[in-house]
């Protein structure tokens, strides 16, 4: 197997030499090439390894951008094939994916177009270094993306692309890369705060009261979203036919999703877990039934009669509702998605079994529900005090008695010492006499 050695020139410049024994034999002649960039050295080493520790053929050298190493071509200008860019490789990788659904592949491409291609799209994939990827991550953070969003983009889309580029091609072509630049690269540090949720009935009352004062139509949507723990795309796309009056539920049968900057209704949820019956409290069902009786295409309609677009609802309704609620004591950072977190946290706190909790959430894994959506609250403080108090009650009482006894005993000892000191002083004064 070929080796890479880092060498330092007299001027302090680092260079990388790839060396190997011809044919991999111990008695084979040494051969090698030196490169200015480590990425080039790694690409060349991969070609040597693929050629069983022999110098790659002229055709391979030209194909992979090493035409200057082919005798007779170094001095003559040649039309070298352009190195494959990150965009070219990423799109070809997307085309051959088979497991993800069409919608998932669309989401991957949308993320790449928006957050990755503007920076990395035209860069040869073989020359992208860890420094480039670290600076890309930092740029996303500076642009306002959260650490979780950056982790999703990199974990679901970018990391698999680099991992695939480290494997041989379908026709046994040598790998484009020898390592994944995201392997072991930490996420950038950013502001961390836990999503605010509604923990008490008083907080829920503040928010819903403010909502009904701003717009009763919007308030009905938020009430249903909170009571069912629904995603935005689920509650905004609810049709009247989804109401199951005899069951006291609403059926999630279609979702609203953003595709190429437009909100469209898709006829089914993304996963089979997303298709579910969501139970609602009778008071909430009464509201939903009334809205279903009005007819229309959706239960909750924007002023023009169509479904709400997220951006419009957020700007025209949610911001006003939240500001009014905050002026009455509701804490900040509350989001519409935080209403879903609020319900799932409440159900978990009240002891709803995990399988039922997962079903309400519409998640494939209960770990997603517990790790992401269930938050720490202060509702356990009083039970903890009560349980610990019962466990330690006898010890606490004994300690109080000991402290009381200790105080009285200490007072007695101080009194004795005080009297002894006065007696000793009197004796000393009597022995000394007036002339001493």
Question: Residue 264's domain is classified under what CATH number?
Answer: 1.10.443.10
Share of the chain above pLDDT 90, in %: 38
* Cut 0.85: pTM above it: no
Of 269, 280, 254, the closest CA to residue 364 belongs to 269
169/165 Cα distance (integer angstroms):
8
Residue 75: per-residue pLDDT: 44
For residues 141 and 259, membership in a common domain is answered with no
Least confident piece of the model among 42-46, 166-170, 394-398: 394-398
Tell me, yes or no, whether 210 and 120 share the same domain.
no
In a domain, 316, yes or no: yes
DSSP 110-172: HHIIIIIHHHHTTSBGGG--HHHHHHHHHHHHHTT--HHHHHHHIIIIIHHHHHHHTS--TT-
**Looking at the 3D structure of the chain, how many domains does it have?**
3
The number of residues in the chain equals 436
193 within domain boundaries? no
Least-confidence region, from 24-28, 199-203, 299-303: 24-28
Strands (E), 233-342: 243-244, 249-252, 255-259, 262-266, 276-279
Higher pLDDT among residues 240 and 196, named by residue? 240
Q: Is residue 384 a part of any domain in this protein?
A: no
Residue 393 lies in a domain: no
**CB-based contact 43:64 (threshold 8 Å):** yes
Tell me if 81 is assigned to some domain. no
Residue 248: C-alpha distances to residues 218, 261, 269, 282 (Å): 22, 35, 21, 7
E-strand stretches of 9-53: 14-21, 30-35
Helix count and strand count (H, E) for the chain: 18, 8
Please check the confidence at residue 416 and state whether its pLDDT lies above 80. Answer: no
- pLDDT tens, 288-341? 999 999 988 999 999 888 999 999 999 999 999 999 999 999 976 788 999 999
Per the CB < 8 A criterion, the answer to whether 210 and 321 are in contact is yes
What crossing angle do the helices spanning 86-96 and 102-111 adopt, rounded to 10°?
A: 170
Partners of 20 in beta bridges: 31
pLDDT for 55-94, tens place per residue?
Answer: 988 888 888 878 888 877 644 444 445 688 999 999 999 8
pLDDT at 273 over 80: yes
pLDDT of residue 262: 80
Domain match, 265 and 123 both: no
Pairing of strands 262-266, 255-259: antiparallel
Domain that holds residue 217: 201-373
Beta-carbon count within 10 A of 52 CB: 9
């Amino acid at each position: 197997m070929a080796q890479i050695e880092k060498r330092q020139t007299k001027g302090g410049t680092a260079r990388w030499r790839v060396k190997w024994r011809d044919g991999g034999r111990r008695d084979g002649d040494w051969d090698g090439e030196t490169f200015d960039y480590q990425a080039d050295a790694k690409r060349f080493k991969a070609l040597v390894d693929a050629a069983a520790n022999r110098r790659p053929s002229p055709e391979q050298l030209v194909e992979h951008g090493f035409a200057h190493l082919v005798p007779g071509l170094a001095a003559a200008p040649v039309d070298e094939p352009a190195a494959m860019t990150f965009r070219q490789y990423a799109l070809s990788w997307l085309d051959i994916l088979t497991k993800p659904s069409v919608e998932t592949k669309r989401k991957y491409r949308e993320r790449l177009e928006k957050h990755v291609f503007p920076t990395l799209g035209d860069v040869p994939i073989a020359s992208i270094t860890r420094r480039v990827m670290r600076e890309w991550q930092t740029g996303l953070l500076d642009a306002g993306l959260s650490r979780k969003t950056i982790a999703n983009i990199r974990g679901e889309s970018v990391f698999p692309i680099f991992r695939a580029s480290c494997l041989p091609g379908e026709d046994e072509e040598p790998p484009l890369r020898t390592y994944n630049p995201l392997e072991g690269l930490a996420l950038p540090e950013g502001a961390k705060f836990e999503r605010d949720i509604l923990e008490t009935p008083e907080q829920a009352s503040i928010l819903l009261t403010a909502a009904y004062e701003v717009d009763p139509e919007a308030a009905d949507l938020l009430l249903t979203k909170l009571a069912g723990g629904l995603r935005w795309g689920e509650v905004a796309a609810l049709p009247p036919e989804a109401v199951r009056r005899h069951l006291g539920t609403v059926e999630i049968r279609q979702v609203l999703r953003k595709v190429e900057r437009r909100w469209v209704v898709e006829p089914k949820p993304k996963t089979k877990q997303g298709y579910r019956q969501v139970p609602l409290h009778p008071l909430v069902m009464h509201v939903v039934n009334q809205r279903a009786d009005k007819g229309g295409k959706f239960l909750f309609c924007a002023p023009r009669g169509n479904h709400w677009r997220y951006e419009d609802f957020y700007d025209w309704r949610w911001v006003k509702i939240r500001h009014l609620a905050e002026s009455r004591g509701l804490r900040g950072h509350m989001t519409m998605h935080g209403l879903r977190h609020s319900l799932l946290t409440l159900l978990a706190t009240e002891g709803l079994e995990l399988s039922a909790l997962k079903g309400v959430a519409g998640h494939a894994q209960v770990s997603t529900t517990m790790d992401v959506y269930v938050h720490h609250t202060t509702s356990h403080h009083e039970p903890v005090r009560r349980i610990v108090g019962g466990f330690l009650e006898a010890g606490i009482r004994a300690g109080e008695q000991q402290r009381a006894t200790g105080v009285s005993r200490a007072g007695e000892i101080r009194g004795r010492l005080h009297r002894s000191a006065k007696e000793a002083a009197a004796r000393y004064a009597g022995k000394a006499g007036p002339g001493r």
